Amino acid sequence: MGASPGEFEIIRDFFASAPQGEGVVLGIGDDCALLQAPSQGQLATSMDTLVAGRHFPADADPAAIAARALRVNLSDLAAMNARPLWFTLALTLPESDANWLRKFSSGLLQTAAQFGVSLVGGDTTAGPLSITIQVIGQTARPLRRDGAGCGDSIYASGPLGAAAAALPVILGDQRVPAEVQHQAERAFYFPEPQFATAAAISDFASSALDISDGLIADLAHICESSHVSADIYLERLPVSSLAQSLAGANALSLSAGGGDDYQLCFTVPPDKVESVEKLGLGVTAIGTLSAGDAKVRCWHNGEPWQAPTAGYQHF
């Protein structure tokens, strides 16, 4: 294997040996993969692109980039209560660098093995570094955005603000001790898709999504799809301890407005709240839905609170 493998060597040496799991009739190497659809439920599919310089620094650890690329895609499956099955990878590389590719593919395939998902195809091209992954999963009880109703409680599945607070560390703008640097890298590159929580709440929740663009912005999507409004009480937010130590007084607004945590935001009808609380999932009730015009209103200790940071928008 040379230091600058060609397109076909890249596929053969770094990706074609990916283990082929459940439902893979024919994997990498032909014009298409052949996949056996599960007999139960529906297929769920989603795609996310990570662009160097926008979603991660171009010189970041390739294994970490790979982990993040797959994990953020898996998070969409988790948010839908879908079990991961397969994924494809469109890789655009500025140069062919065997060292980089070795680290990238080992990070990718290790993450794939951890979550039981098989790489079944892709595309390899030259250009500015970007990684597009499409995931496919199966769900029998999907958690959609459009099922929420007035009076439902709003929940966050876990700590918020860590990834947003980690960003200046990741970008090299904030110097911190090695241990904190490590925590920041974990928060940013290794978000945890919330499969277990999604499965546990799927009998009770009326809607759910994963928080990629920030709690306020993403909750607004539930409100729009479900034709309701939300009141959230910021003193209840589960602000991550990493966000607190990195961002201090700004941690609360990062928890409300910052993205990239990939926790779930979900809603539960009043008669199901007790069942959800009994599950002991470590989830936090942060507000309530009411009738209205798809607005998210934020309160802090009884006072209206204005978000200083809007959710991330590309255009």
Which residues line the annotated binding site for Mg(2+)? 31, 46, 48, 76, 123, 210, 213
Secondary structure element (H or E) that encloses residue 136, with its range:
strand 130-139
Beta-carbon-side half-sphere exposure of residue 229 (alpha carbons within 13 Å):
9
Binding site partner of 50, from Mg ion, ligand ADP, none, Cβ cut-off 5-8 A by kind: none
Binding site partner of 121, from ligand ADP, Mg ion, none, Cβ cut-off 5-8 A by kind: ligand ADP
Which residue minimizes CB distance to Mg ion?
31
Residue 120 Cβ, how far from ligand ADP at the closest point, in Å? 7
Residue 125 Cβ, how far from ligand ADP at the closest point, in Å? 9
Residue 134 Cβ, how far from ligand ADP at the closest point, in Å? 11
- What are the strands, taking DSSP E only, across 211-308? 229-233, 264-268, 284-290, 296-300, 303-304
CA dihedral 110, 111, 117, 123 (to 10 degrees): -90
- 93 phi-psi bin (left φ>0, alpha ψ -120 to 50, beta other): beta
Would you count residue 11 as binding ligand ADP (CB under 6 A)? yes
Residue 109 Cβ, how far from ligand ADP at the closest point, in Å? 10
Would you count residue 107 as binding ligand ADP (CB under 6 A)? no
Binding site partner of 119, from Mg ion, ligand ADP, none, Cβ cut-off 5-8 A by kind: ligand ADP
Sheet with strand 284-290: strands edge to edge: 207-210, 264-268, 153-156, 284-290, 229-233, 296-300, 303-304
Most distant CA atoms of the chain, gap in Å: 64
Q: Which two tokens stand for residue 182?
A: 């490590």
**Rounded to the nearest 10 degrees, what angle do helices 178-189 and 162-170 cross at?**
120
Residue 4 Cβ, how far from ligand ADP at the closest point, in Å? 16
Strand 229-233 with 296-300, pairing: parallel
What residues numbered 117-156 form the site for ligand ADP, per CB under 6 A? 119, 121-124
Among 2, 3, 31, 177, binds Mg ion (CB under 5 A): 31
Binding site partner of 122, from ligand ADP, Mg ion, none, Cβ cut-off 5-8 A by kind: ligand ADP
For ligand ADP, the closer CB: 93 or 286: 93
Phi then psi for residue 261, to 5 deg, are: -85, -30
Residues of the binding site: 31, 46, 48, 55, 76, 122-123, 145, 210, 212-213, 260, 312
What residues numbered 69-98 form the site for ligand ADP, per CB under 6 A? 89, 91
Alpha-carbon distances, residue 264 vs 75, 160, 191, 196, 222 (angstroms): 9, 10, 12, 11, 12
Would you count residue 62 as binding ligand ADP (CB under 6 A)? no
**Binding segment (CB under 5 A) for Mg ion, from list 23-31, 194-202, 223-231, 246-254:** 23-31
Phi then psi for residue 177, to 5 deg, are: -60, 155
The binding site for Mg ion (CB under 5 A) comprises 31
Binding site for ligand ADP (CB under 6 A): 11, 15, 28-31, 89, 91, 119, 121-124
